[in-house]
Amino acid sequence: MAQIAAPIRVEVAGEPGDRFEEILTPAALDFIARLDAAFEGRRRDLLTERRRRAQRLRSGEPLDFSLATRAVREDPHWRVAPPAPGLADRRVEITGPPERRMTVNALNSRARVWMADFEDATSPTWHNIVSGQLNLRDAIERRIDFTTADGKAYRLCDDPATIVVRPRGWHLTEEHLRIDGRPVSASLVDFGLYFFHCAQRQIDAGRGPYFYLPKLENHYEARLWNDVFVLAQDLMDIPRGTVRATVLIETITAAFEMEEILHELREHSAGLNAGRWDYLFSLIKNFSHRPDFVLPDRARVTMTAPFLRAYTELLVRTCHRRGAHAIGGMAAHVPSRDPRANEAAFAKVRLDKEREAEAGFDGSWVAHPGLVPLCREVFDGVLGDAPHQIARLRGDVHVTAADLLAVRGVAGPPTPEGVRADVAVALRYFDAWLRGSGAVALYGLMEDAATAEIARTQLWQWLRHGAADLATMTAILDAECAALERERPDALVTEARDILERTALGRELPAFFTTDAYTRHLVADRLAARAAVRP
């Protein structure tokens, strides 16, 4: 390992669990502490700049492509690294939390890639975070087979999907690991534990340590990740460039820096992904003060909207120009037992995937194993035996700043059904999140933190600009709380309602619901710890 002075040790504030000591080893914690010592200051500075830029946008500063980085965009010669082993063909990717059952099902789904999601699809209880790391290591070592109490067997297949891990975003912290009394970056915890335990194991298995990077807002945040990769590889005596990372373009500011983000990560880059739900959330959040950016019901804002089409076409053109994969957005439908409902849902998914494949994407996401065959069929029809279509450069695409912000043809007030749908989804998702589930099937869709963020920011925006009134919204909330109590006797209705009221119905719009709601997990963990030690 590289010789870097050891910082203050990491204090484990979370309760012990079954086999947690296999992950929270002294060497692994020391590795995290070294990353923290090198990068915590820069992380805090970048978050400060995020807040400043958000304030400038609220004050009317225009959003445009940067003149300072024009040379990077105009240089025709640079390229990202070639595809790493297991990442050349990505025509179908499945996403989900690294729960034990999901881990086996995702790896066996016949998708080419599984994104093990510690971020939007995981409720960050201490148990979920540490057990998720255990599940990944067990899967790589092929020790994950198990049988449930009712006799159902889960066995890993011979050709599982390539694992790509999505750590939590730069804005989040892990309160159960502390250095000098302060919490450690959740990004560094999720990345560090996986890298320390699994990087060499993945290399030995013919793959490598691969990551999806969420919530980046500019190329400086990508540069920070690149520097993390360099130090981590040096510390573990792994060649630089072994790490590969796909960046989710899921903030409106990052959409204006796609080239720059690829450039910062170029020796570690595996491309870009159209994280469309968080992207829509970011657009609403950053322009929530503007009445001309009021959007209608979420279901009416489709990927055919001009501003979303411009975003996806720019992403494909940018990636292919630089030799990188362009990965499409999530198909969130969950197959049901109703044949008619399935037929209608699958038809929508097919149209969506056909648009992506025809636009030049090299693959796309699904949330459920039942959608893997459909997505694969669509991309097989375009790709054939080729692993991707990076050679399709999309020189016909020319996207301006105005194109990325052209919501005028889509903007409009919500319907009463749209308001009720957002209240119902947000309330039920917050309840499930508090109870430890981050990916929740609701009304035929797999909802995660990103879609809950859309729901609550839309509610706030509609109230702010008079597209909905507080009395009506409160009455809907009362009705949905009563319905949730009937649906689930164990529902945390009061707590879920409080989160919704604090993050959607107040005077100010919080940047993320997760930073507020995370304190509820901490309280629950502490109460559980006290109960465990009572005589």
Q: What is the pLDDT of residues 103-127, one digit of tens each?
A: 999 999 999 999 999 999 999 999 9
pLDDT value of residue 527: 52
pLDDT value of residue 534: 44
* DSSP structure class, residue 266: T
* 354: Cα separation from own chain's centroid: 23
Q: pLDDT tens for residues 510-525?
A: 999 999 899 877 766 6
**Would you say residue 2 has pLDDT above 50?**
no
Q: pLDDT tens for residues 289-312?
A: 999 999 999 999 999 999 999 999
Angle at which helix 372-383 crosses helix 339-359, to 10 degrees, equals 30
pLDDT value of residue 243: 98
**Would you say residue 531 has pLDDT above 60?**
no
Q: pLDDT tens for residues 208-222?
A: 999 999 999 999 999
pLDDT value of residue 1: 44
Considering only CA atoms, which of 179, 130, 138 is closest in space to residue 156? 138
Contact 516, 452 (CB under 8 A): no
- For residue 403, how many other CB atoms are within 10 A of its CB? 16
Per-chain mean pLDDT for the chain = 95
pLDDT value of residue 5: 55
Phi-psi region of 486 (alpha: psi -120 to 50; beta: other; left: phi over 0): alpha
Kindly list the distances between the CA atom of residue 318 and the CA atoms of 258, 335, 392, 394, in Å, as whole numbers in the listed order: 7, 34, 11, 9
Phi-psi region of 174 (alpha: psi -120 to 50; beta: other; left: phi over 0): beta
What's the CA gap between 32 and 10, in Å, rounded?
Answer: 8
Considering only CA atoms, which of 332, 513, 505 is closest in space to residue 432? 513
Contact 149, 198 (CB under 8 A): no
Q: pLDDT tens for residues 359-384?
A: 999 999 999 999 999 999 999 999 99
Catalytic residues: 166, 448
Q: pLDDT tens for residues 403-420?
A: 999 998 898 899 999 999
